[in-house]
A and B are shown apart, each in its own frame.
Chain A
């Protein structure tokens, strides 16, 4: 069974701090997606990483896909209150290419 474990589960930091959240698995994924879900809304895709070792940047957010394609990380530089939300990683199921396997998420609160 493919699982995606995210850590930490909860994170509360002050504005301006840096942080890293992790998405780990014992299984290889063909790609991993990162979504952000703001309170009261549905998840929105931030980025998809496809190639092992790939690094993608989205303004202050840096996403990395592990060389073995079993893990990914999201680093936020100088966090702002607008970064507050639930960060979810997801990857295609090996058994059903229409289905995403979802992590439990990291709930981030950035305090002004």
Chain B
């Protein structure tokens, strides 16, 4: 069984479109994260939810909106996609604080044309 899964794995779309990425974890963790990894491989935290409550909201354009319907799911909706949004987006989960291991999904490769 996959611990942290993301869909889709690849996403190619035109500028200006709206798209969503879904994430699910079956580890029973209470904290979930969205990261953006750019072409230079820097892993940048975007959002984090703990038990459906937003606890980290980094400087991210408000075109990005996370939603956590329950503690096993964290989705990311992106409005009005821009070229600079092209990156790999990773979902992760952990139990408790940042001292604990973070488990990552396989990533969603977003290409905006």
Contact = CB atoms under 8 A, between A and B. Distances in A.
Interface of A: 30-31, 33, 37, 40-45, 48, 86, 88, 91-93, 96-100, 102, 104-105, 107
Interface residues of B, number: 24
Interface stretch (B12-20, B38-46, B59-67, B76-84): B38-46
Chain B residues touching A, majority SS: strand
Nearest to A100: B98
Contact of B106 (A31, A41, A48, A102): A41
B47 to A, nearest CB: 11
Given A30-B99, A42-B90, A43-B104, A86 B48 contact: no
Given A42-B106, A86-B41, A98-B48, A92 B90 contact: no
A41 B104 CA distance: 9
B43 A99 contact: no
Contact of A92 (B41, B43, B97): B97
